Amino acid sequence: MNNSLGVYIPEIHPPEVVPAVPDIPSSAEEFYALTSLQKHGETEFLTHLLTAEMTSKDHPDAVIFAGPKVMLDDSVSQDALNQIATVDYPVFYMNFNLNPQANPWRDAIGSAVKHLKGFEYTITRPRDLWFAWTEIMTRITKFRVGKSNPASSQ
């Protein structure tokens, strides 16, 4: 079992900075290529990110998405979500939203996490982050213990 925790926190830079900074990951460059050339580039980028990371040979203890809500014109296709629906590790999404009443709808990442039977947390204050992180770590620990000792779940 891999003892590393896969945490994916996208760091997006303005397009004019991408060529100037040599250490930008190729996924950020892909993001700008997709969004500037295609009508639904953001959705395709999210679809590519999900399928590439969730179907890789690495087996993380969990996948955690963290960031602001991402409201897209289209959601990730059902076919793409069905390809990754059999992940055998927990998936979490911490979205940062200072005013959740202004935008109470689920975003594209939240919809994908729900399809994967994952857990979504809305962070509005530092206290929310503390409670979410505590619950995430508890769920990961219980998942790992339950997976390593199948007799305990009976």
- pLDDT, greater one: 138 or 53: 138
Q: Please tell me the distance from the alpha carbon of residue 83 to that of residue 63, in angstroms, as a whole number.
A: 16
- pLDDT, greater one: 121 or 73: 121
| pTM over the 0.75 mark | no
pLDDT digits (tens, 9 = 90+) for 87-110: 888 999 999 988 888 888 888 889
Please give the pLDDT value at position 70: 79
Please give the pLDDT value at position 24: 46
**Residue 76 scores a pLDDT above 50:** yes
**Residue 13 scores a pLDDT above 80:** no
pLDDT digits (tens, 9 = 90+) for 42-55: 778 888 888 887 77
Q: Taking Cα atoms as reference points, which of 43, 40, 53, 45 lies closest to residue 29?
A: 45
